[in-house]
Structure formats: structure tokens, C-alpha cells
Amino acid sequence: MPTPVFEAPRAGYLPAGPGDQITDVPGVTVGHATLSQGEVQTGVTVIKPHGRDDFLFKTPAAATVINGFGKSVGLIQLQELGVLETPIALTNTFSVGEVATAQIRQAILNHPEIGRDWPTVNPLVFECNDGYLNDIQAFAVSEQDYLNAYSDAAVNFTQGSVGAGRGMSCFSMKGGIGSASRVAALPGAEAYTMGALVLANFGRLPNLMVKGQALGRHIKSASQAALLDSTNVEPEKGSIIIVLATNAPLDVRQLQRVSKRAAAGLARLGSVYGHGSGDIVLAFTTAYQVPALADTPAPAVQFVHESQIDPLFEAAAEATEQAIINALWAATVVTGRAGHRRLSITDTLPQWREFF
């Protein structure tokens, strides 16, 4: 079990997995490449769903677009075919193309038949706009950064101001990468793990709720006092990417239903999915893979019965909520473009424990 490196409020009542992170789902690993130099504050985060070849053994997955102000790549084919063909990559808005190209090159290197004798590959890259802290016009993220994040993927990984989360903001404070897990005990069946990883870059400070406490309205630092006046706050223009992983045997339609429940966890933090917010959820299962080649036997899977799925819905909502909390509490102070600075919630509200 990883040693926690930050303290955060504990949401919900379901038990967590041993590490309280998405990698509690067997086979899942996460890696980062972080760029932090002056006005460049950005990076890449990669989620690998299993240890097998991603193109030959495709991962069942589904997505929900809560609010579609986003520039992701790969969602159309994902929604049509219901499988992942590459790892999941997270980065900043203007680096989506570079990272997608890196994924394509990586797949072709492993399988030169792709795009010739075989079908093309569907890269999957999600984004949030980190332009407040990062000089997004520098196009600093490279193909090598994706490869570095891919190589870094492991069960134990850092949360907060790292990887794709380096330049992200959340509720006018420092946001970034957060992760959590919950264990769902299904009636008459075994328990399954639901893991969540978020790229948190959303929220208006007055709306921030943590475990039912209107925490945003207790933040009264001089630099943020004006933000507490709801008549003097810009509309929500940030985004969040939520990735859910489970070892429960679910079909694609069931995964899509699970992905919708992440919105409940997001709402508990005070998000209203504003006009300019890109809120996208991906859910996948590691219980089986779909072979790419017709001569490879397809797995025989006994799926979770629909009448038993509610605990997985609860776990998806709770893991999402906790992952966002962890993103806030794991984040560290970052100064970037034009001297812009984001404080962590623990710096902004050092007495936060008094509210729980």
C-alpha cells in the first residue's frame, strides 16, 4: 500500500482500495511527464488499462459528455465501437495533436501493418486548458514527453501538480491530477473495485462544497476576496476529465451507464457544468479484452446483472468526488505565465480541518 503524501477530507462511506487510487484496479498503471520551467507549466499523463498490447487486445470502454466544450481526439470511434486501442492520454488543449501523433507512431512501431494491411489506429487524447499558468502557445509538449509518461507508468504515482495537471486550476486555486478508489460489494456476488482519476481544471470558488460544507465561502484571503461576491465572478470556463476503471465484468452499455454517475460526484463539489466547461467521462473495464484479430478467440464473459449494478453506480460517484478532493489537497503552489500564481487549498485555507 502506498504511503499517503498528503492529507485530505474523506468523502462518502464506501471502503477504499489499498492505495485509494485508480491503480487499485488490477492491471491499471499511471505515468506522468511534467514540464516546469518558467512560463511553461504543463505536461502529459498516461493511463494504461492493462499490461497487454493495447491494439491487439482492446479494452471495453464508453464515454459520457456532460458538457461538450472540449477538444478531445478519439471519442467518435470510441462511442461507435466501444473499445480503447491505445492508452488514455491527458494533456493541455493545444498539445492534443502532438500527443495523438505520438500514440499513432507508437502503435505503428509495434505493428507496421496498421493503416496498410490492418485498419488505422484510434488515438485517445483528452485535454483541459491550462493557459492561465502555462504558456499554451509555446506548444511545449513533445512526442518524447508522451513516451516518457508512458514509460513512467506504474502502480504508485504522484497526484497534484504533476503531468497534465501541472498547470491546471480548480475553484480559483491549484488543481491537477487526483485519484481515488472505492470497493463495491454486489449482492450475491463478489466485490469489485471502482477507480477514478481526474484532471481537475474547473469550478467557481463560491460554489466549492466539500462534504456538504460551503468551503469556498470561507476563503477570505485578500487576493481572492472579490471572488466570493457571486455578482463579480466570471462564468465557469474550466474543464474536467474523469476516467473510471473497474474490474467488474460490464458490457459497453453498462459502462456507459456507470460513466454517467460520475456527474453525481462532480456535482457534490459544486460544479454546475457551466457553458464554457468541458466535462467528459470515460469508463473502462479490465475484466476482459476484445481481440483485434478474428482468429483470436473472443472471451466468454458473464456480465453483472442489471439488478445488481447500483453499488457500482455509488462507487463511481464517490470515487469521482474523492478524486477531485485529492486533486485539490495534493496540489502544490505553481507560478507560471506572466507571473500568474495559484495557491493550494491547504495554503489558502490552512484551518480546513476545523470544518470536518
- Catalytic annotation, residues: 239, 277, 279
Q: Pairing mode, if any, of strands 57-68 and 40-48?
A: unpaired
217: helix, coil or strand?
Answer: helix
**Residues 131, 298 contacting (CB under 8 angstroms):** no
Question: d(Cα 20, Cα 35) in Å, to the nearest integer?
Answer: 26
Question: d(Cα 250, Cα 255) in Å, to the nearest integer?
Answer: 6
**Residues present in the chain in total:** 356
Question: d(Cα 19, Cα 100) in Å, to the nearest integer?
Answer: 30
* Other CB atoms within 10 Å distance of the CB of residue 194: 32
- Measured CA to CA in angstroms, residue 283 lies from 205, 297, 300 at distances of 28, 24, 21
Single out the residue of 95, 263, 250, 73 nearest to residue 164, CA to CA: 95
**Residues 85, 122 contacting (CB under 8 angstroms):** yes
